[in-house]
Structure 1
Amino acid sequence: MNDNTAALFAGNRTTLGDYHANHFGWSVTNGVGTITLDRPERKNPLTFESYAELRDLFRQLAYATDVKSVVIHGAGDNFCSGGDVHDIIAPLVDLPMPELLMFTRMTGDLVKAMRHCPQPIVSAVDGICAGAGAIVAMASDLRLGTARSKLAFLFTRVGLAGCDMGACAILPRIIGQGRAAELLFTGRSASGDEGFAWGFYNRLCEPGDVVREAQSLAFDLASGPTFAHGITKKMLHQEWSMSIDEAIESEAQAQAICMATNDFGRAYRAFAAKTRPVFEGD
């Protein structure tokens, strides 16, 4: 590696295994990064600080070489109750417009960072999953729930529109326009069974197993062709605004890029040898 290549890598590659989070739990094991929303006494609400730190962490994940997939869960029996009433809602009432827009753009930037990081994100949703917590689950790539999960987009309950953090764009694509409209207009809670039947959850688990199953799924993803997984995630996001012809051409280009990776060759050689491929993400 010459000095110029080293400089390129230094500016575009990092590791996050030793990152210390200040406002939530963070750990990396076997390529799986785990975020724990860790205020169980308040049902794990978000604060100004945790919003910003989550946004910045997901931005950094775009450059992380040691994190191949991500799990998000809440400590205790709940996922996330949304923005903290005392730490966020109360101050917002008295803020002028520029600062209000600063806040809403920050929360939206969290969703953007989640959608643009290449790692698949798996949310393990148990108990309360409300407001911004419902958005975090929505912005994930895969969601595991439980029968006692309670999904609620509560914005209308506090006098706000349901169009928060991309909800009106993303939620209808997951559960359909009519069902999304019902949840966003009414703010009512959807049970775990409803969420699964509507396609919000990929599957339901026992409460005591949901985090373990999410981590198992994330480990399977981390063991796969992670460069190709990043391309899949990017195309799932970008093709929302493409015509069919544009999407087919974009996928042709994306698949040709994947065919040039070492993982593609590894998969063929393993198939020919009747063994399981060991992917390395390059």
Structure 2
Amino acid sequence: MSDTPLLDPALQAGNRRPLAGYEARHFLWSLNDGVATITLNRPERKNPLTFDSYAELRDLFGQLRHAPDVHVVVLVGAGGNFCSGGDVHEIIGPLVRLKAPELLMFTRMTGDLVKAMRACPQPIVAAVDGVCAGAGAIMAMASDLRVGTARSKTAFLFNRVGLAGCDMGACAILPRIVGQGRASDLLYTGRSMAGEEAERWGFFNRLSTPEALLDDAQALARDLAAGPTFANGLTKTMLHQEWTMGIDQAIEAEAQAQALCMLTQDFNRAYEAFVARQKPVFEGN
């Protein structure tokens, strides 16, 4: 008999909702061996977002919090571009006719997408090629890891359309990735950041070729998916929560998180594999 207690069926029903059968409406979705791939799929327009795709992405990343069959997410655009931001005709045009309550409804929805991306426990790998602008740059920023290409152009171009650079958490998150001075440069000017500059500044974790980009991003995702996924989720949680903590608070939070990880079967598997001089096979529990 296994020493591992069975999960109460009622608890499981309320908190574990696999996404294997998910059918996306406004982008492409696939799930293989724990790696989910979201493909923004309007290549003829460089994959802009609409009200509908914003809402579906927000809701999907929310559902990922309860999806035990998804260990890592890859976010990519079709046709050689990542995402050109909000669709000029389907979002920007309607926005100029709305009143303040409806505008706030929209800006809160876009911010909720970023919050959902940061709150889901799965690491998100953005595969960035070509145009990565506006809300596209934000989604890349909100991902955990970014693989780019030399020909990519990332632009937080909000001030180019008469808006502030403080959009969807940019003033909070971007400085933590590239530093305050570099974030100020990008947010005040709205200029494009080429791929090699983005890697040099730390926005991209690595560069790939356009032809190998998706393969490289998915290979990175598979490596993460093969790791201790419960522990990876806690790493993501701590990276996010410790932004607002002092050092003493952070050390205590990490002590509690690490103690939880020491209770997992994956921790036991790692020890047993080390003793046997084998590579551990993690199962996420």
Q: Does residue 95 of the first structure (1) align with residue 98 of the second (2)?
A: yes
- Give the Cα–Cα distance (whole angstroms) in 1 for the partners of residues 8 and 235 of structure 2: 27
Match 2:235 to one of 209, 232, 236: 232
Q: Secondary structure at the match of 2:23?
A: coil
Deviation at 1:2, TM superposition (A): 11
Q: Does residue 252 of the first structure (1) align with residue 255 of the second (2)?
A: yes
Structure 2: which amino acid aligns with 1:206? T
- Give the Cα–Cα distance (whole angstroms) in 2 for the partners of residues 54 and 235 of structure 1: 23
Matches within 5 A, 1:42-191: 42-191=45-194
- Give the Cα–Cα distance (whole angstroms) in 1 for the partners of residues 202 and 105 of structure 2: 33
Corresponding residue of 1:219: 222
Quick one: structure 1 residues 264 and 162, their matched pair in 2 at CA, closer, same or farther if it must change by over 3 Å?
same
Corresponding residue of 1:200: 203
Q: Secondary structure at the match of 1:67?
A: coil
Structure 2: which amino acid aligns with 1:218? A
Q: Secondary structure at the match of 1:16?
A: coil
Deviation at 1:65, TM superposition (A): 1.1
Deviation at 1:8, TM superposition (A): 1.1
Unaligned runs of at least 5 residues, structure 2: none
Corresponding residue of 1:280: 283
- Give the Cα–Cα distance (whole angstroms) in 1 for the partners of residues 165 and 214 of structure 2: 29
Structure 2: which amino acid aligns with 1:208? E
Per-residue CA deviation, residues 55-98 of structure 1 (Å, 9 max, x unaligned), is 00000000001100000000011000000000000000000100
Deviation at 1:17, TM superposition (A): 1.3
Corresponding residue of 1:18: 21
Deviation at 1:18, TM superposition (A): 1.1
Deviation at 1:260, TM superposition (A): 0.4
Structure 2: which amino acid aligns with 1:85? V
- Give the Cα–Cα distance (whole angstroms) in 1 for the partners of residues 7 and 199 of structure 2: 50
Structure 2: which amino acid aligns with 1:87? E
- Give the Cα–Cα distance (whole angstroms) in 2 for the partners of residues 248 and 2 of structure 1: 31
Unaligned runs of at least 5 residues, structure 1: none
- Give the Cα–Cα distance (whole angstroms) in 2 for the partners of residues 4 and 219 of structure 1: 27
Q: Secondary structure at the match of 2:54?
A: helix
Quick one: structure 1 residues 2 and 209, their matched pair in 2 at CA, closer, same or farther if it must change by over 3 Å?
closer
With the length of structure 2 as denominator, give the TM-score of the two structures: 0.97
Aligned length: 282
Q: Which runs of 4+ in 1 moved over 6 A?
A: 1-4
- Give the Cα–Cα distance (whole angstroms) in 1 for the partners of residues 136 and 7 of structure 2: 43
